[in-house]
Amino acid sequence: MAEPLRITNCHVHTFTHAHVPSRFVRPPLGWALRAAWFRKGLFAIVRRFDRGRRGRIARLARILELGEGTQEAVFARVRSYYPRQTRFVVLPMHMQHMGCGPVDEPIDVQHDQLRLLRDQHVDTLLPFAAVDPRQPYVVEKTTKLLSEHGFRGIKLYPPIGYHPYDERLHPLYAYCAEHGHPVMTHCSRPAQVKYRGKPTAEMRVHPVTGETLDWPLDRLLTMFTDPHSYIPVLTRFPTLRVCLAHFGGHADWQQYVRNPWDVGSDPDKQSWLGRITDMLRSGDYQNLYTDISYTVFADLDNVHLLKVLLADERISNRVLFGSDYYVVENAKHEERQIALRIRSILGEQLYKTIAQDNPTKYLGV
The CATH number of the domain holding residue 113 is: 3.20.20.140
pLDDT of res. 261: 63
In a domain? residue 2: no
Shared domain for 55 and 192, answered yes or no, is: no
Report which DSSP code applies to 198: P
Q: Tell me the per-residue pLDDT of 230-264, one tens digit each, with 9 for 90 and over.
A: 999 999 999 999 999 999 999 999 988 887 666 55
Confidence of residue 298 (pLDDT cuts 50, 70, 90): confident
| DSSP-assigned letter for residue 25 | S
> Measured between alpha carbons, how far is residue 180 from residues 41, 122, 125, 168 in Å?
47, 19, 18, 19
Q: Which domain holds residue 309?
A: 8-13+70-363
Most confidently predicted of 9-23, 82-96, 261-275: 82-96
Tell whether 3 is covered by a domain. no
43 pLDDT exceeds 70?
Answer: no
Total of domains in the chain: 2
Clarify whether residues 143 and 36 are in a common domain: no
Q: How sure is the predictor about 270, in pLDDT bands with cuts at 50, 70 and 90? A: confident
Report the alpha-carbon distance of residue 293 to residue 242 in Å, rounded.
15
At residue 67 the predicted structure's pLDDT band, cuts being 50, 70 and 90, is low
d(CA 203, CA 100): 17
Residues 32, 325: Cα–Cα separation, whole Å:
25
- Is the per-residue pLDDT at 290 higher than 90? yes
The C-alpha R_g of the chain, in whole angstroms, comes to 20
Spatial separation of the C-alpha atoms in residues 334 and 336, rounded to whole Å: 6
Residue 149 lies in a domain: yes
Q: Which residue has the higher pLDDT, 4 or 137?
A: 137
Considering only residues 36 and 159, tell me which one the structure prediction assigns the higher pLDDT: 159
Tell me the whole-structure pTM to 2 decimals.
0.91
Are 299 and 268 part of one and the same domain?
Answer: yes
- Residues 224, 166: Cα–Cα separation, whole Å: 10
> What's the mean pLDDT when you consider all of the chain?
89
Are residues 247 and 347 part of one domain? yes
CA distance 329 to 335: 7
180 touches 364 (CB < 8 A)? yes
- Residue 28: asked if its preceding bond is cis (omega within 30°), the reply is yes
What are the phi and psi torsion angles at 311 (to 5°)? -65, -20
Cis check: omega of the bond before 137, within 30 degrees of 0: no
